[in-house]
Amino acid sequence: MVMDRDEAVKTARHLLKARDAEQPRLNRIANYMRGQHSSVYVPRGARAEYRWLIERAKQNILPLVVKVVAQNMYVDGYRLAGEDENAASWAIWQANRMDARQHGIHRAVLTYGAAYAVVMPGEPKPVITPFSPRRFTALYADPVNDEWPFYGVEDRIENTAEGKRRVVRVYDDTARYTLAGKPDGSQLETDGDQWVMEHGLGVCPVVRYVNCADLDGDGVIGEVEPLIDVQDQLNMTTFNLLMAQQYSAFRQRWVTGMAPPLDKDGNPIEPFRSRVDGLFVAEDPDTEFGEFGQTNLDGYLKSREATNRHIATVSQVPPYHLLGEMVNLSAEALAAARDGLDRNIDEHESLCGESHEQLMRLCGLASGDSAAWEDTAAQVVWRDTSARSLAQTVDALGKLVAMLGVPPQEVWEKIPGITQTDVARWKKAAKEADAMQRLNDIIGKQMGDGAEPGPPPDGDESGEPPAEAA
């Protein structure tokens, strides 16, 4: 049943209040991803030089943790069970530019722990709209086991000719309701005469993507939040390193037995200014010069390296991504270093793959394809991004074909860097080559059956029998 105006406004306000509870956590994660970290301790009366070092004492590794996993996740097709060709819903995926926009979903899942996609009927294709959890929230009766939410709410700030305004859209199993108000959320009212758009899908058209399977209902968590404290530790170590470089790594000189010179007002002034091309000289024979030992920076560097290794262990990102150490690694050593990352990618592909398949079914429903909506056996195809040499891969695939009898066309998509478009083009070329070969065989056979007979073995060219000898 479609909500009336008062009910829609009341529901929107209730959903926005539920959203407010999770926004501080999400905003904190977003700030850390942008490098806006908590500051190290600043003593009262700290000089400008101290604060200058604080601003530069940041080594932000959190975007790298997300990027390394996200760059290995790419949906390359959507296949029906037992079929080689993509299902009809794949055309809707490509019409919505999801080949590129899927990366935004994957990065939001890894960063915040969740992401959303909304499907609405449209012409000529249904419309898919991905959302970050900072702009969208879905409410489930049972957030662990329910496939579809009972409400979804979209919240954004929109620029207009009159200035900024807040636009809120509420989704349920019947329609989408658009409301607008001031940026602070006050004066929220229905937006124009077309504020209701009925979709008639029978389910709330929202698909949720999660970073981990949570059976306790405590909420999902991304890859960034567990590393925030370690990121602060890394920044503190970096700050201490910069402080040591600034004040202790340079050799400090001292002088005794000399009365400091005075300025015109009788105040003592520094007798020497240390510089590379300068020399300290004193006329008094009792004057002595010396220097303090410089601070060894190895401890700071090793501490920062140890923190980076700890981050690599917790996040399952190979250490060479964080440390830059990759010298003479064999193929086996590289595979072992990537083992944790590969397992992490497999888990995320499994979780996001189910949501992508749910999205494809919803696209079928929105396009009126009941068969696609009811098909729960179709699967998305992930591109193989494993770190293997082309020679090793081709050799292994060749053995599958030669020794196990696997058809060659079935292993083409396993070649690294080959897209589904490449495979489709190869299969088309192979079919055309097979058809041409069959045509040549038919022509050759017909030419062989209709060939003109040669001359008789014992007669002349006229074919008359030879005359009897006299």
Q: Over the stretch 4-33, which tens digit does the pLDDT of each residue have? A: 999 999 999 999 988 888 999 999 999 999
Q: Which of 72, 156, 67 is nearest to 111 (CA)?
A: 67
CB 265 within 8 A of CB 352: no
**Where does 278-404 show beta strands of DSSP type E?**
288-291, 379-382
Range 297-301 average pLDDT: 84
Q: How far apart are CA 235 and CA 53, in angstroms?
A: 11
Q: Is residue 442 part of a domain?
A: yes
Q: How far apart are CA 445 and CA 123, in angstroms?
A: 53
Q: Is residue 352 part of a domain?
A: no
Q: So what's the pLDDT on residue 266?
A: 80
C-beta neighbour count of 37 within 10 angstroms: 18
Q: Is residue 410 part of a domain?
A: yes
Range with lowest mean pLDDT among 112-116, 393-397, 455-459? 455-459
Greatest CA separation found in the chain?
Answer: 160
Cα 48–chain centre separation: 39
Question: For residues 198, 201, 207 and 213, what is the CA-based torsion angle, rounded to 10 degrees?
Answer: 140
Q: What's the number of CA atoms in the CB half-sphere (13 Å) around residue 196? A: 15
Q: Is residue 436 part of a domain?
A: yes
458 or 151, higher pLDDT: 151
Give the structural domain span for 406.
Answer: 388-447
CB 199 within 8 A of CB 345: no
Q: Please, what is the average pLDDT of the chain? A: 84
Q: Is residue 265 part of a domain?
A: no
Among 15-19, 335-339, 385-389, 407-411, the range of highest mean pLDDT = 15-19
Q: Is residue 413 part of a domain?
A: yes
Q: Is residue 409 part of a domain?
A: yes
pLDDT tens figures, 260-274:
778 888 887 777 766
Crossing angle for the helix pair 98-112 and 62-70, to the nearest 10 degrees: 140
Structure tokens belonging to residue 321: 């991504």
Question: Total domain count for the chain?
Answer: 1
Q: Is residue 231 part of a domain?
A: no
Q: So what's the pLDDT on residue 470?
A: 39
